[in-house]
Copies of this chain bind each other. A is one copy, B any other.
Amino acid sequence: MGEFDLIDRYFRRPARRAALGVGDDCALLNPTPGMQLAISSDLLLEGRHFLSTVDPHKLGHKALAVNLSDLAACGATPLAFTLALALPQADEAWLEGFSRGLFALADAHDCELIGGDTTRGPLAICITVFGEVPPGQALLRSGARPGDDLYVSGTLGDARLALEVFRGTRSVPQAVFNAARERMERPTPRIALGLALRGVATAAADISDGLAGDLGHILKASGTGACIDTSIAIQLIAARGHPALGTSSFEAEFWLECVLAGGDDYELVFTAPPDARRVVEAASAQAQTPVTRIGRIEAAPGLRLVDGAGQAVTRRFVSFDHFST
């Protein structure tokens, strides 16, 4: 199977929204008049961002999900994406699974594959995604203000737990592992929540490198600090409350490490003024996405952790950094 047969068989579908889709030198898009275009690009490498043993269907899902998550963080509506793919060989079973996983998520968000590139090489996936947002309504990292409430969506840290089990540093009952692995391999981009938070959240980011690190981007961009209640944060990891875990559990430090510095969560961290709590609740309900208030934005720079009684927790949690770790 040659390069162009491969594209035709697995990745070429009739253009819907695009004026011209896969198969020419460029794709052509007609932007909706008056809308801003939101653009994000992510590169995923085997062995770094995913394991070689991953189910290709799940990988197809995840490769697009991590990009859609960036659109969610901006409150943008997905439109289209390009896919640049390096493959060690044209493995039909792999391509079948990968493309099905990719298109299942793409179709769920009406996000169209419009072009890209294929080459032979170590497995690498680069997706660039396009969304749209009314001018001035994109959620940015820079809008947090002292006094704002601090929220996260969904659950955090389960992907990290699964990774630790894969690495062999921890072991958990099979049912706990299966659930955590599902979170690692099939993250849910919070598109509906991002849309519902337009005009409500003052700042937002997606959590890809760990809550502490991604919140840190908001704090830096906004020129503020924040305080997180660790007694609430520790409850965000679903595995900790899994019935199959029984009485065997880990020390609080490990759970907090997973929640605060886990990575691969693809939830949203966002801020909103306290007088918007009902509106945030309504946005959460509308998007059918749970959110948890975990702290507040403060004027003093830096991230502070407190326990349930408001006492400082001194442990530092370091976010994932591709060039420092």
Contact = CB atoms under 8 A, between A and B. Distances in A.
Interface string A10-32: 00000000011001111111110
Contacts of A126: 41, 43, 84, 124, 126, 128
Contacts of A121: 45, 47-48, 124
A235 interface: no
Interface of A: 1-4, 6, 19-20, 23-31, 33-43, 45, 47-49, 70-71, 73-74, 76, 82-87, 89-90, 114-122, 124, 126, 128, 130-131, 133, 135, 138, 140-142, 204-206, 221, 321-324
Given A24-B205, A30-B37, A31-B37, 10 more contacts: A1-B323, A25-B141, A27-B38, A41-B126, A43-B119, A43-B126, A45-B122, A86-B124, A87-B323, A120-B323
Contact of A24 (B33, B140, B323): B140
Nearest to A18: B39
Most chain B CB within a 10 A radius of its CB, from A42, A47, A82, A121: A121
A83 B122 CA distance: 19
B37 A28 contact: yes
A221 B323 contact: no
B114 A25 contact: no
Stoichiometry (number of copies): 2
Contacts of A117: 41-43
A131 B76 CA distance: 21
24 contacts: A2-B323, A3-B321, A3-B322, A19-B36, A20-B138, A24-B141, A24-B142, A25-B204, A26-B73, A26-B76, A26-B138, A27-B38, A28-B36, A28-B133, A28-B138, A31-B31, A39-B128, A39-B130, A41-B83, A41-B116, A43-B126, A45-B124, A48-B86, A122-B122
Contacts of A324: 2-3
Most chain B CB within a 10 A radius of its CB, from A23, A36, A117, A204: A117
Given A1-B323, A124-B124, A323-B6, A74 B40 contact: no
Contact of A40 (B25, B48, B90): B25
A181 B28 CA distance: 33
